[in-house]
Structure formats: structure tokens, C-alpha cells
Structure 1
């Protein structure tokens, strides 16, 4: 008898992934691929959209014919800040512009001159000034710089919704893509911002729907439920929201450390904006307060410098475990020691001067300084929310010194680490199932570990 499964395409900037999940959300099949980037008309690197489309159809059609599985539904998770423009015939009319593509400053200036001031616009839309990382700015740029192309647009779809469109032919917009640092959404009005209407952008954005919407289609003779797609960050958050009863903050660590609060009720403040705060969006359109810290990037640079200073292998830091006696020595006459290269902070020395003769001591000082910044970032995301739990996933979740220090400084929160390579893919499967997850889900599926603050000696 065939196993009933949900198919998920999880599209990252680098890796393109395909999963099959059974009815208990267990992975039963996976497939990865990568594509070489191509160039847009300006010579800037970008996604090979045609190759991605061909791969989606080839993989899905092949797996539909596998005798072991019966695919009942398919959904799509992908990176954000990326849109596809189609004409009245459904034909793609521009390259898939890379959100890292530099934006002509004159375009940005004209936008903020017309619709600013910048800080107020950022506060209301939950969007920092991020150039092409704001998809609203991409649309404004296209209208100003290439009006002849803009006039041909029938619909603009965010990438997850375009992937769904390939299977349904039905264009939709979806909250998590529209609301994640796009400049498009007014969180006070709970509607598109006034500038979107003044520029006529609303006319090319298809009707809005929620990420748990399924479209019922006949796909080559098979009845199939097709999800409308979901922004990967919102998708990765969903299993935590569905399986945890009390308010929490999720700290997703890597190159960026992103502190995510899906229970915030208040609007962003000017201080939040100044501290690199922004909004993502839950599947129902409610705000998700986010605070960012360039933690992993700074850590990588500083550890490399420390390794060179002590003439040790660059991966030696992975062997260092938390030592309370070393921490005591570091904190008894504590002054900041490290000059950051990619983080703005107070009381930073003009240059880094290592005052220790052992790597372990210097490393504990580095982690202490970074964690103090991390704690402030987490508190910024918490705001006025009565948060009881803190989840940490990603690269720092198995860093013993980081976890011990965070647990110590935020001891009033229960700290737990999780490990899931499935991340946004699993969320994309859960969202279209409308399943209610119990409190054991994270333990069973995410290698949940609880950490208690260390006891002061």
C-alpha cells in the first residue's frame, strides 16, 4: 500500500531541496541540487529561474510515478526579498533580480524624498532601509528606471507564490512574503502602505491570502492540494508556535543572530529602528518582532585573529568548553578588549589588545563581550512581552560557552536548544496540514535540550 506523503520544495539561495514527509512529519525522502548563477541585463549574478522551474517539474513528475508514495499535497518554502514579474500571458518578463544587487542611490533618495522620513517609514512598515532587500523598493526602482518593462507587468509574485503558481496557474499574494521587510505593509493600518497605492503597485499585487490556504487542482490526472507557499523565516518559526503554549523568543544563530518574538503586540519604536529592529510576519498577518546582530560574522573574524595571535589552528576554538574559574578571572577586572569590525556598540576600544597569555582566557572574554551584545539584542526583541522561554537554534546552539553565558544572563527564561536540519521545510508541510502539534513535538523532532544556569561558586 502506498504511503501518503506531502511534498515540499525548500528553495535556498544555494541549495534547492525536495522532501517527502509522511503523516507524522517524518522525512521519508530528500533530494538536493544546485545551479550555477546566471547574469541579469546589467551583468549582476542572479538565480537561474528557468533551470529552477525545470528542476521542480522534473523532480515532482518523477516522484509522482514512484510506486512507494502517494503525494497528496505539495507546498513551497523559499528565501524572501525576491519577486517574479509576469505579463498577461503568464510569461516571466525580467530576470529574477538578486536582492544583493546595488541600488542606484538616486532612486532611493527620490523615494524617501517623496514618502519619508526614513525612520518613520521604517517604523510603520517594519522595514529597515535595505535597498533591493526591500521588494517594495525593487518595484519602485523598476517603475522609475525601466518604465517600459514595468508597464508590461500583469502580476508581481514573491518567489514562494510564483513556485505555487507554476502548479496552479492561480496568482496570489501571501502575508508572510508581503510582510517581511518589504516596505509594502503598513502595520498600523494592517494594509498596504499609502505609497503602494499612490504608485499603483497594488494593481499588480494579486489578492492576499494566508499561508495555510490550499488550492485544489487536477495535476496530470491526480487530485492534489497545492499550498500557496511561505517565506522561509516564517516557515521555520511555525513548528515552535504550533507546539509551544507560552510566549517565547527564538534565537536563530548563524552569520546573523536573529532574535524572533512572534508574540509582540506593540509597534516598533524609534529605538528599535535605530538598533536594527524590524518586523517579519506570522501566517495570519500579525507582526513578528525581530532584532538582528551580526554575531556569527564577527565571531568568525575575531576567532581567526585569536588563533593567529596564539599560533593555534583556526578550528581550535571548537575544543574550548565553558570554565567558570576562567570566567571569574575574566570578569573580576572586566573591561572591553575587542574592537568589532561589523558590529556597532558602545565602549569599544580603538584597537584589540590581547591581555592574556592563554587562548582559553581570551576566548572566554570574547564570548562574554559577544553574549552581552546578544542579551541586549534578545531584550530588544522581547520588548514588553512576558516571555518565559528562549529557544536557540543554528550554529551557536552547540557552543558550550555561548549557551552557558546566555543561560546565566537570562536566567529568568527557560533556555532550550534545538537542532533541525529540516527547518523551513517542515514548517511548510505543517502549515498546509492545519495540524495541532503537542508539546512533545520539539523534543521528538528537534533534539530539544534544556539548559539550566550555572551555579555560582
Structure 2
């Protein structure tokens, strides 16, 4: 197997991971800290670039890198000028985008066209671009290419600007996912000429620029793949290993639930449901909530570990955590989170309550998506939480819950761009054991659902 280097830009951390087939050979990481501005909060792309160059230089001494792939979080677009960014890559948590909501509304495509729900802050990347054009017209006039965030880094690596559908196909308002074309928003705003032609995520974009080769010491034989949106990178290993229907719960700052084989007709914009475009541009029904962030809010600095006995004590006390504990995304974005009842004494009680909250919200969204058959694949922080996995297995009897403790899931998926559609064999995940007291758990779920706010 040849070695593939993957730059994985998450919202919280940035990693560079080297893979030789299914094995991780080398890894480095750094915190991802956005800059406050001006002109608005934005990604510190120069810090990430320095990290990438230094990592490739260091790793390339010991390993013969043949391919480079990039994966990043979504809701981020790069507006490229002649030889640099015309405007910074906006932090999607920037609330100031809301200033243009009334202006944007007539241009927003209908949900039936894009399967992209209206979202808060800058989580619809089309609204980000609209804001940038309307609030910074002089800088916007210098834009020559608009590409998703992964393709910004591949442009810097190769000098070639291309689009890629997993990046523009996720709650962006920019892509008509079922028709596989740019949306009416792009046409209505006159942006068509700024979007370069799309290529597949696994296509070779080109070789490294001479300046990059000089800085990293890598040879001119290194191939740069087009790159992929992170949630879609997580899907890649499973697209080969499983036949739909199956569902992937990819968790970190966000918990993204992707239901392969589910009916897009069930999607409900009011519940922050959508369709991603997968690596072959096919629609993937999905729902999400800010699971890692909400877990931390409920935890409130307490111990992050708990047991099933702690969860049983929380359920017996009837304590409920109700959404939403962060304002961005999820099926109840307008409802402030609340905890009803008094937690029993004990070190693990807050972690148990947070685990129950994430389990019940996952279960709720699985039913909303119609993801009621086939295995449930759990990746990221939820997979490392045995209480979450055991409780979910009890609620979804008949569906195997398969947690993966591989922390490189997204990066590993991106590494497969170098060999797609071939995939090296990996040890299959073992099913989680279901929580034994199903009756108590079902009663607790009924009480939690009865207390949920309306989505109207």
C-alpha cells in the first residue's frame, strides 16, 4: 500500500494523519482557533497552512507520501482572488450574517429544490456568500473562484481551483442535490462564473506546486486528491462494507446522522433535516444536532464519565434534559435547553444525564428520518461512551449498534480517496450490549418525548 497524508480540519482540532492502507502510521494535531476579525470571525488559514507544511516536511522524511487528501468541516466556503483569498473564510458561528436575512429570503431556493433547511448564523454557506457580497462589495469584486473549504487547501497545494459536490451539497443552499446542479440561488445572484467545474472527491486534482515541493521536500510524483466534506468522508468506508439501508452517526462537535437508503421525501426543514450529496453525488438523508457541544454544556465541568447505574438513578429520579443547549442547529433550535428535576447525588450524574439526552435525541432523529432498519454505525465521541451505546442499543432493538473506537474515522475515510472504490480490510466493530432494563428506559423516553417543545 502507498502512503496517503490526510489534512483533517475539524471545527475544534486540526490533524495531519498518514495512512498505509488501513493502518495509521503518523499523526500530529493542533487546536483550531478562529480569529475574531476584522472583517468578521474567520478561520486562521495561515496557522493551518503552516501546520500542514511543517507536518508534511517532518512526516515526509520518514514516509514515502504518494497522495494527499483534505477533509474539512462544512458550512465554509473560500472566496479566492487572483492569488490569495479575496475575503477570509468565515466562521459559520458568526451571528452577524443574520443582518441580511430579509434581503436573502427572496433569493433562498425552496427546500424542495436544495433539501437545505434555513439555519442560524452562517450555517447556510450560501447566506455567508450573500453577506460577503452585500457587506463587502469591493472585496467581493476581486473574487475569481468560490470553492468549498477542502478545495481551498488543495488549491494552495496545486494552484488548481475546482468544486466538489460533497462540499457544496451540505445545507449550503447552493446545490440542487436531486438534480445534481447548482441551485437557483447561484443563478439568481449571478455567481455561476465564480464556481469552477466540479470534479469527484477522489479525482486527482494535480501535482504539488513547485513552491510547496521546495518547502516540504516532497517529490513531484505526489498526487493531490480533490478533497471531501468531513461527514461524507466518514461514510466512505461503509459505502463498500454495507449495503443500504444503514445509518452512520458521526459525532464530535456535531452529531450528524446520515441514513443511507432512507427516503428523502421524509425530510422536514423545520427539524433541521437535509440531504447531503455523497462522493458519487447521490442524496443522503440526514439530521444533526450539536451533540458534543451540548454534552459539554449539560456536563457543566463535572466528571465526563458515568455508568449504567448512574443512568438508572437519573431515570428513576425522573430528571429530564430538554433541547436545545446551543442555538445552532438541531430539531428545536428556538427552544432554550432546560433541566427539569433534581439530580441525585453522585459524581457521574451529570454525565449520565448528558448521555441520556444525546441518546434520546439520536433516537428521535432516527425515527424522523425513517432509519429504522439496518445497522447503526457509531463513530467519534459517542462511540467512546459505552453508556450511550448500550442505551441506544436497547432503544433500537433489531438494529445492531456498532461503535468504532478508531479516532481517525473521518481522516481514514478521506484517505480512501486515494484508492476509491477499493478499501483495505478492517476488523469489524463488535455490537454494543443493550441496556437490560428496557422497560424503565422506554418509560423514560415516553416522559422525555411528552415534554419536548413543538417544532412549529
Normalized against structure 2, the TM-score is what?
0.81
Match of 1:195 in 2: 185
The equivalent residue for 1:261 is 259
CA deviations over 1:107-130 (Å, ceiling 9, x no partner): 1111113446xxx43773323323
**Is the CA contact (8 Å cut-off) linking 1:127 and 1:279 kept in structure 2?**
no
Q: 2 CA distance for matches of 1:192 and 1:238? A: 24
1:40 touches 1:97 (CA, 8 Å); kept in 2? no
Correspondent of 1:108 among 101, 124, 128:
101
After superposition, the Cα gap between the structure-2 partners of 1:25 and 1:206, relative to the gap in structure 1 and judged at 3 Å, is same
Match status 1:379 vs 2:377: no
Q: Per the alignment, do residues 251 and 156 of structure 1 end up closer, same or farther by CA in structure 2, a change over 3 Å counting?
A: same
Query: Structure 1 residue 19: deviation in Å?
Result: 2.0
Does residue 397 of the first structure (1) align with residue 383 of the second (2)? yes
Aligned position for 1:243: 241
Residue 408 of structure 1 is matched in structure 2 by 394
CA positional deviation for 1:98: 1.6
Q: Cα deviation per residue 1:65-102 (whole Å; 9 max; x = unaligned)?
A: x2x42221111112222222222x32322222222222
Bigger CA drift: 367-376 or 220-229?
Answer: 367-376
Number of matched pairs: 424
Name the SS for the 1:280 alignment partner. strand
Structure 2 CA distance for aligned equivalents of residues 243 and 94 of structure 1: 41
1:18-417 paired onto structure 2 within 5 Å? 18-22=16-20, 24-34=21-31, 37-42=34-39, 44-64=40-60, 66=61, 68-87=62-81, 89-115=82-108, 120-121=110-111, 124-217=114-207, 220=213, 222-269=220-267, 272-304=268-300, 314-315=302-303, 318-322=305-309, 330=316, 337-338=320-321, 340=323, 342=325, 344=332, 352-354=340-342, 371-381=359-369, 383=370, 387-417=373-403
Q: Displacement, 1:297?
A: 4.3
CA apart distance, 1:360: 7.8
Change (3 A) 1:104 1:19: closer
Tell me, what secondary structure is at the counterpart of 2:106? helix
- The 2-side partners of 1:79 and 1:350 are apart by 28
The Cα shift of 1:206 comes to: 0.5
Supply the distance in 1 between the matched residues of 2:338 and 2:15 (Cα, whole angstroms).
45
State the shift of 1:208 in Å.
0.7
On the 8 A contact 2:234/2:250 being kept in 1, the answer is: no
Which has the higher Rg, Structure 1 or Structure 2?
1
Provide the alpha-carbon RMSD of the alignment: 3.4
Residues 270-303 of structure 1: CA distance to partner in whole angstroms, max 9, x if unpaired?
Answer: xx21222122221111122212234444444445
Structure 1: give runs of 5+ residues left out of the alignment: 305-312
Q: Is the 8 A contact 1:73 1:225 kept in 2?
A: yes
Please report how far the alpha carbon of residue 103 of structure 1 lies from its aligned counterpart in structure 2 after TM superposition: 2.9
SS in 1 for 2:85: coil
| Closer/same/farther in 2, CA of residues 31 and 373 from structure 1, 3 Å limit | closer
Question: Quick one: distance in 1 between partners of 2:353 and 2:139?
Answer: 54
Answering whether residue 426 of structure 2 is matched by residue 449 of structure 1, we say no
Change (3 A) 1:93 1:371: closer
Runs of 5+ consecutive residues of structure 2 not aligned to the other structure: 214-218, 327-331, 439-456
